[in-house]
Amino acid sequence: MNLWFRLLLMLFRRPWRKPVDGLDSTVVRMRVWPLDLDFNRHVTNGRYFTLADVGRMDFVLRSGAFRVAMRNKALPIVGDTWGKFRRELKLFEAFEIHTRLLGWDQKWSVMEHRFISRGRVVGVVVMRGLFRSAKGTIPSADFVRELGLAEVSPAMPEWLQAWAKSCDDMSAQLREEEQLRR
């Protein structure tokens, strides 16, 4: 099923969904449709990242992050994503996407999207993103303060810190390579 249809369906249901605190999880229920499948007849790896967008949009709307972004004339930007696939989702299988904010540093906010079916985690997508306006990146501390959260991030697990560092290292390497080509 097309992403736009799923987004519209999520937006249509929004008036009946309660707002959440910035550290709470949101849950979006979905079903696997034929256009989600690859040649192996299960959800294609890339589709998990696309479906995570729907979960993330639901979280941004329900947590109030959308209002903060609008006040700052900012747009959400995804910087890095990572996925872990544990088991397959097959045609017409029902599943949920549980989305939550894991933490933040000076620049980035980190979110997790857990894909759950029949009580089991079938996949996880982790995303590192920020909000950017014409004036530049909005510092995470400013953004979370406007959400009513403490400026200090919850402790992030070591594997998540290592992943964030590897993303920063790759960005630095790419910048160096670009400088060498000039």
Q: What is the pLDDT of residues 39-77, one digit of tens each?
A: 999 999 999 999 999 999 899 988 989 889 999 999 999
* Amino acid 104: pLDDT: 95
* Amino acid 25: pLDDT: 95
User: What pLDDT band is residue 179 in, cutting at 50, 70 and 90?
Assistant: very high
* Amino acid 103: pLDDT: 95
Q: Is the pLDDT of residue 2 over 70?
A: no
Report yes or no: 96 and 79 within 8 Å, Cβ to Cβ: no
Collapsing DSSP states into helix, strand and coil, what is residue 142?
helix
Q: Is the pLDDT of residue 6 over 80?
A: no
* Amino acid 181: pLDDT: 87
- Region 108-117: mean pLDDT is 97
State percent of the chain over pLDDT 70: 93
Q: How far is Cα of residue 165 from the mean position of the Cα atoms in its chain?
A: 18
| Whole-prediction pTM | 0.89
**What domains lie within the chain, and their CATH numbers?**
3-154 (3.10.129.10)
**11 vs 48, residue with greater confidence:** 48
CA dist 51 and 78 (Å) reads 14
CA dist 69 and 61 (Å) reads 10
- Region 80-101: mean pLDDT is 96
